[in-house]
Chains A and B, each alone.
Chain A
Amino acid sequence: MSRQIGDVILDLQNISLRFGGVKALTDISFNIREHEVRAIIGPNGAGKSSMLNVINGVYHPQDGKILFRGQERKKMEPHMAAKQGIARTFQNIALFKGMSVLDNIMTGRTLKMKTNLLWQALWVGPARNEELVHRRKVEEIIDFLEIQHIRKTPVGRLPYGLQKRVDLGRALAMEPQILLLDEPMAGMNVEEKQDMCRFILDVNDQFGTTIVLIEHDMGVVMDISDRVVVLDYGKKIGDGLPDDVRSNPEVIRAYLGAGH
């Protein structure tokens, strides 16, 4: 099933973000189309994670507008972003260290669980059935990410690469429309990176999820993304197809280095 890239789902206009005197983002505008894989690249400190945090509602930009499906978003809070179908993973793996892999991914289903506290305490009827329904769904994700063998392991005990996979699983459990991935392949070896690429592409293929990806590995970025945005010192210096961006002299100067 080849994915059809759709209309603009998220439109960021003139976003500026400051922390006290530090300008993290200056007048950034770009859009994201539905079902595409959009990469955000740039040197360290360029403001990429801040950009994701803005989309997600963790940071609030001082200037600029964000339009979600054509509708302007008022001040966004993280759990509202979650409700609107935006999920994300973190650079520093914000997993719940005290819980198992299964439980961590199950937390991703929180928004979809409707039974109230009393039913849960009694563990009958609606609560019990709902738990089983969601368990089935989460097991599908576990199969998909090939982590069946560690489903009961406390997350804190897993190696870094597997933790990143669980982080992805938790985001997937939300069945998001937009998936924000913050350096999902950082610290992985070649095989792990290939696995991760496969997962990301499969997600995009099978579920049509729009993917916004921060990544440093240029090979990966050029391979899997449909369009690329380049940031440097909080400003946008490139935006377009991977090949175009690759040959943009400003981008080469700032980031890729001469001779690419």
Chain B
Amino acid sequence: MGFFIETLIGGLMAGMLYSLVALGFVLIFKSSGVFNFAQGAMVLFAALAMARFSEWANAALGGDSLAMANLIAFVGAGGVMWFVAWAVERFVLRKLVNQEGATLLMVTLGITYVLEGVGQTLFGSEIYNINVGMPKDPVMMFESVFDGGILINKEDFIAALIAAVLVGLLTLFFQKTPVGRALRAVADDHQAALSIGIPLNRIWVIVWLVAGVVALVAGIIWGSKLGVQFSLATVAMRALPVVILGGLTSVPGAIVGGLIIGVGEKLSEVYIGPMVGGGIEIWFAYVLALIFLLFRPQGLFGEKIIDRV
């Protein structure tokens, strides 16, 4: 029983990280109607920037002031993501206003490749470390309730906390602020938003910047845990099914979806995996999303998609 709870909690926390990446998807889709396949690459790009900047800053400062280096690196990486947002809006989005979804999707595929290539050219393609002072040691909890207690990873726990805070802030942002409202208008209809004076271009830069910062946070957390390497992009792609489950337009959906996928992956790997040869993590999330697509394409919390004749 204790083991089950452990797996469950481990899944919840992994799920929280998926949610973080999924949040980036939802942000961009909600406000520009673009499904950003490049979100995973953005996580990698941001993490690379962070890792290398921190390294270089630390060396420049004399090798001892890690906290300062990290701060500089964070700001630097944020600036880089701002540049990415600007470039994407200026060279890509502006030219594709009101194109259909499939075209926009394929364009983000192209952006993925460009980010991966540029990232590795600028920052290198080895494995790098991010050290932001996350505690690496696990802690035993609930010893009185369960026999022997439950092993909880402190790092995962803090990550989950950060993710939860970020999600809360973003939900507030969308629901309560005027900019958030404007973003929702844009997602609904580009032309209509333009005609009431919403500055589409600036909005898009803001959105992609926010998504970029979310990607940066996700990149830092994951990079700190797994090390920053190319495979980070593919792991981040597992967040795609999360938005299908939760609904492309729903911020709470990204959370719930992430938790479900995180828990589902871990539990299925542990309990079903051995029966079929293991390694089912690579497809579990996607097949779950596939099943949802067949019966409830809008996900748990998304808006129903209506086609007019």
* B-binding residues in A (CB < 8 A): 53, 58, 90
Q: Which residues of A lie under 8 Å from residue B309 when comparing CB positions?
A: 53, 58, 90
* A-binding residues in B (CB < 8 A): 309
A58 to B309, CA, bound (A): 9
Q: Which residues of B lie under 8 Å from residue A53 when comparing CB positions?
A: 309
A50 to B309, CA, bound (A): 10
Q: What residue in chain A is nearest B308 (Cβ atoms)?
A: A92
A90 to B308, CA, bound (A): 13
A90 to B309, CA, bound (A): 9
> B interface, by DSSP: helix, strand, loop or mixed?
loop
Q: What residue in chain A is nearest B309 (Cβ atoms)?
A: A58
A57 to chain B, nearest CB (A): 12
B102 to chain A, nearest CB (A): 14
Question: What are 3 A-to-B residue pairs whose CB atoms are below 8 Å?
Answer: A53-B309, A58-B309, A90-B309
A135 to B309, CA, bound (A): 29
A53 to B309, CA, bound (A): 9
A200 to chain B, nearest CB (A): 23
Q: Which residues of B lie under 8 Å from residue A90 when comparing CB positions?
A: 309
Q: What residue in chain B is nearest A59 (Cβ atoms)?
A: B309
B33 to chain A, nearest CB (A): 21
Q: What residue in chain B is nearest A58 (Cβ atoms)?
A: B309
Query: 3 smallest A-B Cβ distances: which pairs?
Result: A58-B309, A53-B309, A90-B309
A190 to chain B, nearest CB (A): 30
A211 to B292, CA, bound (A): 44
B304 to chain A, nearest CB (A): 12
Q: What residue in chain B is nearest A90 (Cβ atoms)?
A: B309
A180 to B309, CA, bound (A): 15
A174 to B234, CA, bound (A): 50
Q: What residue in chain B is nearest A56 (Cβ atoms)?
A: B309
A58 to B307, CA, bound (A): 12
A96 to chain B, nearest CB (A): 15
